[in-house]
């Protein structure tokens, strides 16, 4: 009943639905997995769409780049951008390399620790906006050590086109990495990483609703970060409440300790579950892979009809045992892979159209 209600509510927005899930299952069973990995093969099963949001441009791949994050510490890579100037320069270079969406956190310029301080964001976000046409996506997750009010301080000020939104409370940790680091660049880092073992990222239903209502009233749309199957069901709950409208953007995250693992089979589970809950024509699917799983998983995501996210927030590597020297290096590599597979890369304007964003001219700098 819950699944049918969520899809029914989305149908009433005028968005096209995919065919009945049971029919799709038997079709795939008799006609092979191609119809699963290439959703255009299932188009004849769907009702005719009157929606302009799912135009030809929706078949292009959106590249998101998460520039610095709040999980990795400076000791993990000398190339991790820390200062406002470093974050600015790497974000601009990533946009020039082909990233349509730039996802941003801030760090204390003195020692690289995560900070929610709007004054720090203001030292680099306006410059990125002036230098690029990329969609600016500001975190509402911050870090596990920030309060909700701290996490929302800059999004409230900027009123951005897009914000990330973690779809549930969870264990979120990289604490096993601490045993591999012998030389810490700053005295806060070791306690920060080891302390994740006893930390919980908190996003209750009340927190999520508050973020949706407050930032949504400003015209901000969301990158719904889903770290497990249950997060998709949490999202379906808010669809039923009328707080989420199609087309929405699901960022499925794989390989974080505390979330769903990086097994390729798990991606098919997440994709199929989202299809069941929402109907494929009501959302855009994207994938991030943590650490060494980054490039293989995001390539698979594109083959499955989705979009991709790279960046030093998600992985500090460009190849096995080789540190990425910049975010743009990762963007260029995934762009090359996708174009070799005959995918077209979405421009920022095309990403805005696909995701129904308000436009960069309507943010508050």
DSSP notation for 151-213: HHHHHHHH--SEEEEE-S-EE-B-GGGGGG----SSTTHHHHHHHGGG-EE---HHHHHHHHH
Each residue's pLDDT tens digit in the chain (365 positions)? Answer: 555 567 767 766 544 333 344 334 333 333 334 334 444 433 333 333 334 344 444 589 999 999 999 999 999 999 999 999 999 999 999 999 999 999 999 999 999 999 999 999 999 999 999 999 999 999 999 999 999 999 999 999 999 999 999 999 999 999 999 999 999 999 999 999 999 999 999 999 999 999 999 999 999 999 999 999 999 999 999 999 999 999 999 999 999 999 999 999 999 999 999 999 999 999 999 999 999 999 999 999 999 999 999 999 999 999 999 999 999 999 999 999 999 999 999 999 999 999 999 999 999 98
d(CA 263, CA 139): 26
The pLDDT of residue 7: 73
Q: Could you tell me which residues are beta bridge partners of residue 249?
A: 223, 284
- Provide the sign of the torsion angle of the four alpha carbons 14, 18, 19, 22, taken in this order: negative
User: Angle at Cα 247 formed by Cα 97 and Cα 301, nearest 5°?
Assistant: 50
d(CA 46, CA 105): 39
User: Angle at Cα 124 formed by Cα 118 and Cα 130, nearest 5°?
Assistant: 120
Work out the end-to-end distance of the chain between its first and last CA atoms, rounded to an integer number of angstroms. 44
The pLDDT of residue 313: 98
The pLDDT of residue 35: 38
The pLDDT of residue 10: 77
**The model's pTM:** 0.88
Q: Is the separation of the CB atoms in 56 and 353 below 8 Å?
A: no
d(CA 122, CA 154): 9
Kindly list the structural domains of the chain, giving each domain's residue range(s) and its CATH number in brackets, ordered by start.
Answer: 2-14+57-358 (3.20.20.70)
- Per-residue b/e over 24-38, b at no fewer than 16 CB within 10 Å? beebbeeeeeebbee
What stretches of the chain adopt beta strand conformation (E)? 63-66, 101-104, 106-107, 114-115, 135-138, 162-166, 170-171, 200-201, 221-226, 248-254, 283-289, 307-310, 317-319, 322-323
């Amino acid at each position: 009943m819950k699944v049918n209600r969520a899809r029914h509510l989305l149908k009433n927005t005028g968005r096209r639905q995919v065919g009945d899930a049971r029919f799709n299952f038997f079709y795939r069973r008799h006609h092979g997995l191609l119809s699963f990995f290439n959703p255009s093969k299932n188009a004849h099963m769907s009702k005719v769409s009157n929606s302009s949001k799912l135009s030809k441009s929706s078949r292009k791949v959106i590249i998101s780049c998460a520039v610095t994050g709040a999980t990795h510490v400076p000791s993990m890579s000398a190339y991790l951008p820390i200062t406002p100037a470093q974050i600015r320069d790497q974000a601009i270079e990533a946009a020039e390399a082909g990233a349509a969406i730039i996802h941003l956190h801030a760090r204390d310029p003195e020692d690289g620790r995560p900070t929610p301080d709007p004054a720090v964001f203001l030292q680099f976000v306006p410059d990125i906006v002036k230098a690029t046409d990329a969609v600016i996506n500001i975190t509402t997750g911050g870090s596990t050590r920030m309060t909700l009010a701290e996490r929302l301080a800059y999004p409230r000020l900027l009123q951005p086109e897009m914000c990330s939104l973690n779809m549930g409370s969870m264990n979120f940790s990289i604490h096993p990495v601490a045993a591999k680091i012998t030389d810490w660049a700053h005295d806060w880092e070791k306690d920060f990483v080891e302390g994740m073992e006893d930390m919980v990222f908190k996003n209750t239903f009340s927190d999520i609703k508050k973020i949706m209502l407050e930032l949504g009233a400003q015209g901000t749309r969301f990158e719904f970060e889903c770290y497990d199957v249950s997060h998709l069901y949490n999202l379906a709950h808010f669809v039923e409440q009328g707080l989420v409208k199609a087309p929405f953007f699901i960022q499925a995250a794989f390989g974080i300790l505390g979330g769903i693992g990086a097994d390729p089979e798990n991606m098919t589970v997440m994709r199929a579950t989202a299809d069941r809950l929402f109907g494929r024509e009501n959302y855009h699917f994207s994938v991030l892979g943590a650490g060494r799983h980054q490039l293989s998983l995001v390539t698979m995501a594109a083959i499955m009809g989705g979009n991709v996210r790279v960046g030093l927030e998600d992985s500090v590597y460009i190849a096995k045992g080789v540190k990425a020297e910049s975010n743009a290096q990762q963007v260029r590599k995934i762009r090359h892979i996708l174009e070799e597979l005959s995918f077209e890369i979405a421009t920022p304007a095309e990403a805005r159209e696909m995701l129904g964003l308000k436009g960069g001219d309507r943010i508050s700098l």
